């Protein structure tokens, strides 16, 4: 009898792994490692629109830090690794909601500050279903909502106001991003050759041209500094350079608090525009407000949809929670106000409202690659490894 049955016989050596098994193990390890890094530490994003130009450009690839503000746990653990809403190249959902978990945020080493460039899940339903027929709109789990990137201009408890395009927070002017842009009209007596765009400073992908009896009207997104530099050139064919006028009430895109808000009834805020907005208090966890027509217009949608109330509704201008009317309300989480640096070409908090704390993804960290997708193309070498400010 073999009393040392627990010892390994020499002839019991495992067979060497096949090449297929080795490749499978390597791929599995890489997917697990990438998934953990993506969830806990850093995630790669690309800039698809011009809402943050010229701070961030279309074609910038950046890493977003999850650990700055604290990593969120997922609410949908049954998901294809390294996907977001859909499986790559298909319309097939990448997740199932057979198991739904409560979300938590692990400790971070800082909080969202004013002027931070932040990636977040846009909260509102319409912005998560752009170019989708309304009948097919999907209410995604919080961590799978569409990612937006904007600059935080207001933190919980702030009072924010915009006067003639300048943001004021708690009565003081907020520092403007160096590359902030606005919409300008440039009237030229002649059609400007695209060869001259770079010397003038035009960005070709942001230009719209309208011909009139007076000449050619160029609609451009430009920084104030670039406009001053263009004026200083005193080009003979440039007849005028003016800030594009803001469209009046009812003719421009509707703004917060009226944009897709069924609870907005008070007309006190109808004069707010993209360039003259507020004053608006930003909700803070633990702060109690009275419930009336004005507060329900400003905060009703937030209370009903985003503040973790299981049974909250507004009927006939009154707020009901768990079937009981309430005359005051205490917020259960913090909220933020986000704006794009391309101030006249950004769908942001001025239109759809506050960003809840549980929708914050992370802090934009640095650019690891930048590809010019305009005419000429190529890599923007000078932007690689730039830190994001």
Least confidently predicted of 81-95, 178-192, 194-208: 194-208
Percent of the chain with pLDDT over 90: 63
Tell me the mean pLDDT in the region 222-240.
89
Residues 6+ apart with CB under 8 A from 233: 200
Q: Does any domain span residue 234? A: yes
Catalytic: which of 55, 66, 145, 150? 150
| Residue 147: pLDDT over 80 | yes
**What is the Cβ-side half-sphere exposure of residue 121, based on CA atoms within 13 angstroms?**
19
Q: Does any domain span residue 195? A: yes
| Residue 1: pLDDT over 80 | no
Number of structural domains in the chain: 1
Residue 82 pLDDT grade (very low, low, confident, very high; cuts 50, 70, 90): confident
| Residue 26: pLDDT over 80 | no
| Residue 4: pLDDT over 60 | no
State pLDDT tens for residues 251-295: 456 789 999 999 999 989 988 999 999 999 999 999 999 999 999
187 three-state secondary structure: strand
Tell me the mean pLDDT in the region 237-263.
80
Q: Does any domain span residue 287? A: no
Domain with 219 in it: what CATH number? 3.30.70
Catalytic: which of 51, 94, 188, 349? 51
| Residue 79: pLDDT over 80 | yes
State pLDDT tens for residues 31-51: 677 667 777 778 889 998 889
Q: Which of 113, 117, 173, 169 is nearest to 148 (CA)?
A: 117
pLDDT given at position 99: 92
Least confidently predicted of 25-34, 216-225, 314-323: 25-34
State pLDDT tens for residues 362-376: 999 999 999 987 666
Residue 7 pLDDT grade (very low, low, confident, very high; cuts 50, 70, 90): low
pLDDT given at position 249: 47
Residue 188, beta-bridge partner list: 216, 238
Question: 387, 365 in Cβ contact below 8 A?
Answer: yes
pLDDT given at position 270: 87
Least confidently predicted of 3-17, 91-105, 172-186, 317-331: 3-17
pLDDT given at position 283: 98
pLDDT given at position 20: 78
Q: Does any domain span residue 227? A: yes
Q: Which domain holds residue 212?
A: 182-243
Across all residues in the chain, what is the average pLDDT? 88
Q: Does any domain span residue 220? A: yes
Catalytic site includes residue 150: yes
At 245, list the tokens: 């006028």
pLDDT given at position 40: 74
Alpha helices in 147-267 (DSSP H): 197-200, 224-233
Count of CB atoms within 10 A of residue 225's CB? 12
**Spatial separation of the C-alpha atoms in residues 218 and 126, rounded to whole Å:** 31
Catalytic site includes residue 240: no
Q: Does any domain span residue 219? A: yes
pLDDT given at position 13: 57
pTM of the predicted model, to two decimals? 0.90
Residue 379, beta-bridge partner list: 371
Q: Which residue has the higher pLDDT, 252 or 384?
A: 384
Backbone angles phi, psi at 54, to 5 degrees: -95, 10
| Residue 76: pLDDT over 80 | yes
Q: Does any domain span residue 210? A: yes
pLDDT given at position 302: 98
State pLDDT tens for residues 208-229: 888 888 899 988 888 888 889 8
Q: Which of 348, 342, 389, 346 is nearest to 181 (CA)?
A: 342
Q: Does any domain span residue 279? A: no
pLDDT given at position 139: 95
| Residue 332: pLDDT over 90 | yes
């Amino acid at each position: 009898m073999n009393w040392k049955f627990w010892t390994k016989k020499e002839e019991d050596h495992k067979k060497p792994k096949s090449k297929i098994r080795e490749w499978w193990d390597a791929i599995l390890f890489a997917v697990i490692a990438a998934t953990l890094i993506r969830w806990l530490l850093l995630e790669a994003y690309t800039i698809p629109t011009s809402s943050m130009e010229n701070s961030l450009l279309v074609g910038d690839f950046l890493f977003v830090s999850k650990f700055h503000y604290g990593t969120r746990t997922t609410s949908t653990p049954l998901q294809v690794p390294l996907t977001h809403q859909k499986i790559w190249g298909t319309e097939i959902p990448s997740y199932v909601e057979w198991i739904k978990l409560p979300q938590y945020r692990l400790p971070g080493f800082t909080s969202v500050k004013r002027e931070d460039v932040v990636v977040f899940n846009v909260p509102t339903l319409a912005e998560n279903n752009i170019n989708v027929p309304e009948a097919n709109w999907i209410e995604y789990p919080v961590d799978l909502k569409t990612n937006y990137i904007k600059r935080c201009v207001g933190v919980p408890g702030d009072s924010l106001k915009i006067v003639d395009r300048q943001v004021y927070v708690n009565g003081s002017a907020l520092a403007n991003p160096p590359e902030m842009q606005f919409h300008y009209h440039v009237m030229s007596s002649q059609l400007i050759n695209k060869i001259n765009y770079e010397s003038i400073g035009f960005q070709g992908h942001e230009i719209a041209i309208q011909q009139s009896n007076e000449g050619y009207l160029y609609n451009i997104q430009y920084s104030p500094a670039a406009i001053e530099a263009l004026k200083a050139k005193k080009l003979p064919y440039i007849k005028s350079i003016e800030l594009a006028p803001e469209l009046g009430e009812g003719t421009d895109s509707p703004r917060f608090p009226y944009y897709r808000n069924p609870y907005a009834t008070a007309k006190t805020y109808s004069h707010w525009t993209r360039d003259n907005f507020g004053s608006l208090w930003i909700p803070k966890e633990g702060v109690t407000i009275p419930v009336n027509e004005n507060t329900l217009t400003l905060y009703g949608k937030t209370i009903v949809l985003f503040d973790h109330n299981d049974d909250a509704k507004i009927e006939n201008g009154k707020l009901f929670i768990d079937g009981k009317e309430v005359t005051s309300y205490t917020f259960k989480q913090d909220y933020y106000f986000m704006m794009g640096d391309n101030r006249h070409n950004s769908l942001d908090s001025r239109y759809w409202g506050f960003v809840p704390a549980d929708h914050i993804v992370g802090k934009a960290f640095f650019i690891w690659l930048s590809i010019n997708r305009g005419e000429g193309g190529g890599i923007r070498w000078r932007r690689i490894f730039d830190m994001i400010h």
